[in-house]
Structure 1
Amino acid sequence: MQADRQPLTVWIDANGLSWALAADLLARYGIPYLWDASLRRILIGALDVAPAYREDAIQDSIGWPLFEMSLQSATAPVILRGILRPQAAGQPARAWCRVLEFAEEFGISVRFDPFTLLARRGG
């Protein structure tokens, strides 16, 4: 998959949804963040993001531990939820999020066929 004209490693789940490492997406678009391990939360330093309510948000029943992404503080509204997916044996799990949901939340234009993330709108 392409994101901002560069290759992006993704994982396609059984439902055909594209997932990518949240850290890779945030770095690609220059969005500052901090991982809060105690809350399993990524704190976002961008002021131009307005969280949207999502009916199809990831639920605890998915079978993986979850993480949340929120604005600036641990008490801010949740932007999106993702999964903590294990890596190789003995390595810590990494945070993965749905690529299209990330694009929608962060104002990133998309193109389908093939699915591609473009530039951030207004950025």
Structure 2
Amino acid sequence: MWGIADSHHPQWLDALARAHAVVEDRVRVGKAMGLRNLPSKDWSVNSGWILAANLGHDLDCWLRLLTLHDQDGLAHAEPDTMRYRLYHLPARLAAHARRRHLRIERTWPWAQAFVLAWHRLTDLPALT
């Protein structure tokens, strides 16, 4: 690249390509989280859709960072995999004695990962 010092070195070009690959990966994940198809031709509806899709993507990233960092197969899973394994939870919400209980299927393979993530989220200190 003309005008940039040391840009002719292979290491510099490799670092540039790797940084660009991270950006392309984030764009691909953003599209998978809902940015691929906008629902309307109206600007205000689409801006709300983009805000909701980016919020969902941020929540997914924070969930992985705070609770799933040591879970094999979930820390760096694709959004479709996360939807299938954790977000579409096969469970029933039951009420008993003025309390609600989440009854998770015992045969579900990712029940332990969900419970661990739930406990880690509830153990976070409250914001002050």
Please confirm whether the aligned pair reaches a TM-score higher than 0.5, indicating the same fold.
no
TM-score by length of 2: 0.23
TM-score by length of 1: 0.23
Per residue, is there more helix in 1 or in 2? 2
Relative CO higher for 1 or 2, CA cutoff 8 Å, sep ≥ 6? Answer: 1
Per residue, is there more strand in 1 or in 2? 1
